[in-house]
Amino acid sequence: MSMRTAFTYGLGLSLSLFATTMSGCYINTGEDCDWEDEECFWDDAPDAPDAPDAPDAPDAPDAPDAPDAPDAPGIGRPDRNDDGDGGDSSAGAGGEPAACVADCDCPSGSACVDGTCKLPCAASCECPEGESCEGGHCEPPPEPAISCEVDCDCPSGSACVEGVCS
């Protein structure tokens, strides 16, 4: 399939304002994408056999044997062991940055750098608290080195070298 999914079917955004369910959005481009090239399909998605919310999928909300559970991010799907956090977190939203392939996979204002959504910056004061501007992107501080006296003070597979686990 040459199209890349912009919104995964696991998110299945539900728009209650007009009682319309977004089944999925696809972008008809390669690695670089532009939101003007997207095609959105409402209610019934095009043939997408791997889509978990496709009408023929066993856990789809419309399937007769599926539990009637909300499918919007932030609500959760107990039948999918989803706690409602909406999946991967995004850069700037706390937690781990979201994985990406292209800039359009990231939240607005973020860029895809080495498979991770990062906020662009010119100075550290533009970054979220605790992060610094490194190479034009906000970066979290490095993890502190684990101090040690002997190898057994270090995590499995690490050795104590000059008081630091390596």
pLDDT of 48 reads 45
What is the residue extent of each domain of the chain? 1-87, 88-166
DSSP string, 12-67: --EETTTTEEEEEEEE-SSSS--GGGEEEEESS--S-TT-TTSTTSTT-TTSTTS-
Tokens of residue 3, six digits = 């199209």
pLDDT of 114 reads 87
Q: Label residue 12 exposed, middle or buried (CB < 10 Å: 0-12, 13-18, 19+).
A: buried
DSSP string, 89-104: --TTSSSSPPB-SSGG
Mean residue pLDDT across the chain: 62
Tokens of residue 134, six digits = 């490194």
Q: How many CB atoms are closer than 10 A to CB 138? A: 21
Per the CB < 8 A criterion, the answer to whether 129 and 110 are in contact is no
Is 21's pLDDT higher than 80? no
Q: DSSP state, 35?
A: G
For residue range 58-85, what is the model confidence (pLDDT) as tens digits?
Answer: 444 444 444 444 443 444 444 444 444 4
How far is 92 from 95, CA to CA, in rounded Å?
8
The structure's pTM equals: 0.33
